[in-house]
Amino acid sequence: MAVKTKELKLDIERVGTVSAILTQPDKARACYVLAHGAGADMRHAFMAKTAQGLADRGIATFRFNFPYMEEKKGRPDQPAVAHAAIRAAVAEAAKLCPGVSLIAGGKSFGGRMTSQAQSKAPLPDVKGLAFLAFPLHAAKKPSSERAEHLAGIAIPMLFLQGTRDELADLGHLRPVIASLGAKATLHEVEGGDHSFAVLKKSGRTNDEAMSEVLDTLAAWIDGLV
């Protein structure tokens, strides 16, 4: 399958301009607006592997930097700025991939900011939200407060979580998913950490665990579109 990769600039109203990348296979079935985590930008190996893996499965991705990452600042943007970046990315993805179903979400912080944006005002034309390791709480501080806004989201949500993820204790996450009802789906990656890496003693490789993540995500997206 032929895949095109375009380096782009994304204008965020009243904020500035950031870098972006569109990874687009021929005849893409959907486009996933993929926001990065708090500590690594859109070019991180995890992000690149996700984009390429989805392209191999017929799904485009639109990656972008949050302003703080573009400017190489240490602290993540305030939520309002992050939400503005996500809204700009969704609008740009719709222009670049006309007629293609949109999914939004991302890795850790990026996924949480996307869910917050959606809870405040629906992202135009977005069919569902997919979270790659939703950061439910700080490490070793189990809580479900960060999930309270999810109840205000009406579209389908997919949570892909490693069972060793220190930022999402499953004892807290599972009840959250249950409370959201049929609109929320939880897929647990056995032995995976916050980046879905597995221990050698698990009997499988990190690539195999990541393939599980991508296969599950692609199948869920197909179910929506």
pLDDT (average), residues 99-110: 97
pLDDT (average), residues 133-162: 96
The owner of tokens 């996924």 is 111
Give percent of the chain with pLDDT exceeding 90: 97
**Residue 74 — very low, low, confident or very high, per pLDDT cuts 50/70/90?**
confident
pLDDT digit string (tens) for 132-145?
A: 999 999 998 999 99
Give percent of the chain with pLDDT exceeding 70: 100
Q: How far is CA 198 from CA 55, 172, 185, in A?
A: 24, 21, 22
- What is the pLDDT at residue 225? 83
**Residue 167 — very low, low, confident or very high, per pLDDT cuts 50/70/90?**
very high
Q: How far apart are CA 27 and CA 29, in angstroms?
A: 6
- What is the average pLDDT score of the chain? 97
Calculate the CA dihedral of residues 58, 126, 41, 47 and round it to 10 degrees.
-20
